[in-house]
Structure 1
């Protein structure tokens, strides 16, 4: 179970680091994938990118240097971001399939990952 807990946590952190990098490098394409297409306000999209990239780096650092329980607490707290993203997509006319199929599902997987890390 330890290998699965760490592997899932690493994969989630690397994935959010990728998403953050995508928002920094290709913000309008990334915004469309997020569920709310954007044609301006590049700065706000890049802010989201920096936030996501930072979450990924902090998660990896905690896994490497602080251990499973610290990383679990971080994952538990950071699950608020995809839950909030779910609400944002719904409030701004995005598709329900994206809100729940991407953002809400991500929150569930992050919470599951936190549970696995707590069990290690």
Structure 2
């Protein structure tokens, strides 16, 4: 179970790191994938890029240097971000499929990762 917990946490951290970098390099394409397309306000898209990149880096650092328990608490706390993203997409007329199928599903997987790490 420890290998599965660490692997899932590492994959999730690398994935959010990738999303953050995509928001920095291709902000409008990334926003469309997020569920709320944007045609301006690049600065706000880049803020999301920095946020997500930071989440990924901090998660990897905790996993490598602090261990499963610290990463589990981190994942538990950081699950708030995709839950918030779900509501943002819905509030701004985005697709329910993206809101629930991407953002809320991500929150669920992050919470599962947290639980596995607590058990590791």
User: Shorter chain as normaliser: what TM range?
Assistant: over 0.9
Structure 2 gap ranges (5+): none
How many residues matched?
120
Aligned to 2:65: 65
With normalisation by structure 2, the TM-score equals 1.00
Task: Write the mapping of 1:1-120 to structure 2, written as runs, cut at 5 A.
Answer: 1-120=1-120
Looking at structure 2, the residues matched to 2 and 108 of structure 1 have their Cα atoms a distance apart, in angstroms, of: 19
In the alignment, the residues of structure 2 paired with residue 23 and residue 95 of structure 1 have an alpha-carbon distance, to the nearest angstrom, of 19
- Across the aligned residues of Structure 1 and Structure 2, the Cα RMSD in angstroms comes to 0.2
TM (norm. structure 1) is 1.00
3-state secondary structure, aligned to 2:118? helix
**Partner of 1:36: helix, strand, or coil?**
coil
Q: Which runs of 5+ in 1 are unaligned?
A: none
Moved segments of 4+, more than 3 Å? none
